Amino acid sequence: MRIKKIRLKRIALSLKTPFKTHQAEIVKRPAIIVEIEDAEGKIGYGEITAFPSPFYTAETTDTAWHIVVDILIPSIEFKEIHHPNDFHEQASSFQGNQMAKAGLEGALWDLCAKQQGVGLAKLIGGTKEAVKAGAVISLSERMKEEIGNLLSQGYERFKLKVEKGKEEESIAAVRSLYPDLPLMIDANGMYQARDLTRVAAFDEFGLLMIEQPFRAGDFYLHRTLQEKMETPICLDESVESFEDAEQAIELGSCRMMNIKISRVGGLTEALKIHDLCVEHHIPVWCGGMIETGISKAHNIALASLPNFTLPGDLSGSTRYFEKDIIKPFIEVDRGEISVSDENGIGYEIDKEFLKQVTEEAYEYILE
């Protein structure tokens, strides 16, 4: 791939309104933008989506920066990388740190597609011209206004963040406003074994699915709950690798799976998980991380694959931010987002705005 330069840019974007879950409240979204440049000056873009604190996974913005700058970049033989899969193989010798790996690999995938003169979706075998949009609803006093605006844009699936002990209240509040809304809830692993019977009773709400009821890595409790429920269980945090997905399927721990590129260590692993789920007839959807347009563009390409049959956490550029770092902005039209056929991720970078929001930068030049 003739890689010559690697640049990192630590940025922060202010959210339109605070995003609240039972774990945290996010007012400003930090991220690390990865740029990988080849000998001809083509640049691939990736994004490290770790949060400031380890409430979602063990990684944080600070730890990811350290892992990339001090460990991955000095250790990877970039001259031996001819395809993003080569990076995945080299990086696999380091444990964990999936988001750090995914950011570097994402930039390589974008660069690879640009070098081949094709869109990223086409490069990975995507078949769709547009993908269905889904929205995440935070614990907000503006719920009625928020859902109304999203419905007017055609969003087809709504994920409600809930707080333990207040689930019925939150679901009832949504149902009272929009009785037929296609609704799921995201527990972010907040339940324990003693909550099994109570959560199983959520069947009465007619939900599309319940996402990650128990802590990450607990396939046993998820299987036990799925055996008690008609509502499909969907795994999120529990699946950080192909092996995790394989174990979940073999144990019957879920009937659906959320695939996040950054959570599983990159697009290479995400593609393997997609294919595994096809083999076992497990429908999948693409999760989101309140990302910039760079990650959103990667997610759209991933969601263009055939087995992404459920609307993902795919939204427009201005869903959370007043201004994105890509141009043109990603837009939702009648509930769908078009899959770009431009080279790479299909969007240009607003370099002037990126410069404005950059708080720290790092550059590595290959000899």
CATH of the domain at 62: 3.30.390.10
- Location of structure tokens 């390589």: 108
How far lies 67's CA from each of 5, 96, 172, in Å?
A: 18, 10, 44
Q: Is the pLDDT of residue 367 over 90?
A: no
Surface-to-core class of residue 68, CB atoms within 10 Å of its CB (0-12 exposed, 13-18 middle, 19+ buried):
buried
Q: Specify the pTM.
A: 0.94
The number of domains in the chain is: 2
Asked if residue 187 and residue 326 are part of one domain, the reply reads: yes
Catalytic one of 9, 114, 159, 260 = 260
In a domain, 209, yes or no: yes
Asked if residue 86 and residue 30 are part of one domain, the reply reads: yes
Residue-wise pLDDT tens digits, 216-236? 999 999 999 999 999 999 999
Three-class SS state of 203: helix
- Location of structure tokens 């890595």: 217
Q: How would DSSP label each residue in 137-178?
A: E-S-TTHHHHHHHHHHTT---EEEE--TT-HHHHHHHHHHH-
Asked if residue 217 and residue 105 are part of one domain, the reply reads: no
Asked if residue 166 and residue 249 are part of one domain, the reply reads: yes
Q: What DSSP element (H or E) covers 302? A: helix 293-303
Radius of gyration for the chain, computed over Cα atoms and rounded to the nearest angstrom: 20
Q: Catalytic: 4? A: no
Question: Which structure tokens are listed for 145?
Answer: 């206004």
- Residues in contact with 243: Cβ distance below 8 Å, sequence separation at least 6, in sequence order: none
In a domain, 224, yes or no: yes
Asked if residue 107 and residue 9 are part of one domain, the reply reads: yes
Containing domain of residue 97, as a range? Answer: 3-117+352-365
Residue-wise pLDDT tens digits, 242-267? 999 999 999 999 999 999 999 999 99
Q: Is the pLDDT of residue 167 over 80?
A: yes
Q: Catalytic: 260? A: yes
Specify the CATH number for the domain of residue 126: 3.20.20.120
Do residues 273 and 110 touch, judged by C-beta distance below 8 A? no
Catalytic one of 20, 161, 164, 296 = 161
